[in-house]
Amino acid sequence: MKKIDEYQGKKVLVMGFGISGINAAHLLVKLGANVTANDKATPKNNDIVDDLEADGIKVITGDNPISLANEGFDVVVKNPGIPYDNPLVAAFVKQGTPIITEAELGWQIFDGHLVSVTGSNGKTTTTTLTQLMIAENAKHQVKYAGNIGISFSKIAEDLGPDDTLVTELSSFQLLGAPTIHPHIAIITNIFSNHLDYHKTRENYINAKLNITRNQTKDDFLVINWDRDEWQKIAQRSQATIVPFSRLNKSHEGSYVEDGMIYWRGQEVMPTKDIRLIGPQNVENALAAIAAAKLSGVTNDAIKKVLTTFSGVRHRLQYVMEYQERLFYNDSKSTDIEATEVALQGFDRPVILLAGGLDRGYTFERLVPYFKKHVKAMIVFGECKDKMKDAGNQAGVPVIESENAITAVPEAWKLSEPGDVILLSPANASWDQFPSFEVRGDKFIEAVEELTGKKEQ
C-alpha cells in the first residue's frame, strides 16, 4: 500500500453501504480523514453500523439528506450505482465538490502493476482469465478486484510495488476515477448499455474511455478490433494500441486464423482447446492472451489456463450433464447481444429460458439465432409476450412460465438426449429477482432439485 497524505484532516462523505463503500470508509479513517457514511436504506444488519461507528465514523441512514451538501465536505466517495441526478449528488456537483468512486481511492493507494478491464460484455471472464494467466508465471502476488465483487481498495491495501492487480471496472466506476492509470487497459467491446444512467451512447463511450485517459505511449490499450467503430474509438487513446480479433488478422496483437490463436504471428494454441464455449469466450481469451503476453507470460501457462478454466458463475457457466442433457447458467446475459453470442456457442439443439425486465425494446434481432439454434423456448417475466412474439416469428415452439425457476421442469419435459437447456434471459432480472446472481443461483437450485445432483 502506498502511503498518501491527501486525506489527512479532510472531511469526507461516503455514500452507499455496499462492500466497496464500507471498505472505503474504514480506509479513509486510516488515511486520517474525518468520515461520515450515509446510505439511503437502513441496514438490516446492525453490525454494519456498529463497525463503522466503532471506527469513529459518523453514520446516517434511511435518507440522503440534502442538508449534507451544506456541511463542508472536501470529497465525496460515491457508490458507483448512485446516479448523478440523485438530488444530494447533484447538489455536490453544482457546488464543485470532488466526487470519486472507491476505484479511484484504490488506485491512489496502489503501488504495483495495474491491469484494468472494461467493456459491455465479457469483463469478468476476461479479468479472471488475465489474472489466472499472469499468476501462472508470477513470482509475486497477482490478485483481481473491482466490479468483479471484490473491493479494489481493500485488495490494494495488501499489495506492494512488485505485485499485480487485475481490476474489472464498470462505466459507473470509471466516471469517478479521474486519475486512474493502468499500464495495460483492456476494452472487451462497447454496445449500448446503461443508457438510463448515462443518457446517451456517447456519454457511455466516454465513461469507458476513462480507462485509457491517463495512459501514454509507454502503456498499452488492448481493444477489440472486430468493428470499425471500436477501431475508431482506439484512436482517441494516447497508449500503444494492441488489437485482439476473432475476425481480422493483425500482427500487432492476438488473433485467430484457421482455427489457431496467434500472438504477433506466433502460434499459441488451437481455439478448439479452449474449455469455455462460444465465440464470445474466444474473444475474451484473445484479450486475456494479449494482456498476458505483454506481461511476459509463456504459452504453456496460457494453455494451462484456457484448457482447464470452466467459466465464471452466471456467465455461460456449465452447471452439469444429466441424462445426456447439458445445463448452462448464463443469467448474466442481461441484453440482446449477450444472448446472441451465447446461442452461437452451441452446435446442439437449445431449449432457451429467457425473459425478464421490460425495458421497452423488442427482440426481432434474435429471430435468426432462434431459427438456427433454438428448438423450444420457455419465456417469463415482464417482457415474456415480446419474447414470445420473436419466438413465433422464428417458428419456434414457445411456452410461458412464471420465472426462471418454474421454467426448469418445463424445459426438461421438452428436452431429449443431446439437448442443451440454457438460461440466457436477454433481460435484466429486476422484475422478479434482486440481481442476475440471485436469478442464476435459483436456476441452479432448480436444476439440482430436478436432477438430484449438485452442480459440477
Q: Which domains does the chain have, with CATH numbers?
A: 11-100 (3.40.50.720), 103-308 (3.40.1190.10), 317-451 (3.90.190.20)
Nearest to 272 by CA among 306, 240, 300: 306
Report d(CA 226, CA 114) in Å as an integer. Answer: 25
Place of cell 452451441: 346
Please determine, for residue 193, whether its predicted confidence score (pLDDT) is greater than 80: no
Place of cell 446472481: 437
Contacts of 442 (CB under 8 A, 6+ apart): 403, 404, 405, 433
> CB–CB of 329/423 below 8 Å?
yes
Place of cell 469455455: 276
Note the pLDDT of residue 194: 80
Q: How far is CA 420 from the centre of its chain?
A: 25
What is the arithmetic mean of pLDDT over 89-100?
98
Note the pLDDT of residue 287: 98
Note the pLDDT of residue 353: 98
Asked if residue 295 belongs to a known ligand binding site, the reply is: no
Asked if residue 146 belongs to a known ligand binding site, the reply is: no
Asked if residue 119 belongs to a known ligand binding site, the reply is: yes
> CB–CB of 357/435 below 8 Å?
no
Identify the helix (H) or strand (E) that includes residue 293: helix 279-294
Identify the helix (H) or strand (E) that includes residue 127: helix 123-137
> CB–CB of 17/7 below 8 Å?
no
Asked if residue 122 belongs to a known ligand binding site, the reply is: yes
Identify the helix (H) or strand (E) that includes residue 342: helix 336-344
The beta-strand segments (E) located in 73-182 are 75-78, 99-100, 113-118, 142-146, 164-168
pLDDT band (50, 70, 90) for residue 278:
confident
What is the DSSP secondary-structure string of 185-235?
A: EEE----S--HHHHSSHHHHHHHHHTTTTT--TTSEEEEE-SSHHHHHHHT
Note the pLDDT of residue 109: 98
Q: Residue 290, exposed/middle/buried by CB under 10 A (0-12, 13-18, 19+)? A: buried
Nearest to 292 by CA among 131, 119, 112: 131
Report d(CA 1, CA 55) in Å as an integer. Answer: 20
DSSP-assigned beta bridge partners for residue 376: 351
How does pLDDT run across 132-159, given as a tens digit for each residue? Answer: 999 998 999 999 999 988 999 999 999 9
Cα distances (angstroms) measured from residue 263 to each of 114, 218, 221, 297, 301: 22, 20, 15, 12, 14
For residue 150, give the DSSP letter. Answer: B
Q: What is the mean pLDDT of the chain?
A: 95
Note the pLDDT of residue 280: 87
Report d(CA 181, CA 90) in Å as an integer. Answer: 27
DSSP-assigned beta bridge partners for residue 262: 255, 267
SS3 category, 380: strand
Place of cell 427482440: 363
pLDDT band (50, 70, 90) for residue 46:
confident
Note the pLDDT of residue 250: 82
SS3 category, 369: helix
Note the pLDDT of residue 296: 97
Q: How far is CA 452 from the centre of its chain?
A: 31
Note the pLDDT of residue 313: 87
Residue 141 carries which side chain, given as an amino acid letter?
Answer: Q
Asked if residue 203 belongs to a known ligand binding site, the reply is: no
Asked if residue 30 belongs to a known ligand binding site, the reply is: no
Contacts of 78 (CB under 8 A, 6+ apart): 15, 16, 89, 99, 100, 101, 176
Q: Could you tell me the pTM of the whole model?
A: 0.84
Q: Residue 240, exposed/middle/buried by CB under 10 A (0-12, 13-18, 19+)? A: middle
Determine what percent of the chain is predicted with pLDDT higher than 90: 89
* 46-54 and 19-30 helices, crossing angle to 10°: 10
Length in residues, the chain: 456
Asked if residue 121 belongs to a known ligand binding site, the reply is: yes
Residue 311 carries which side chain, given as an amino acid letter?
Answer: G
How does pLDDT run across 302-332, given as a tens digit for each residue? Answer: 999 999 998 888 988 989 999 999 999 999 9
Report d(CA 317, CA 328) in Å as an integer. Answer: 5
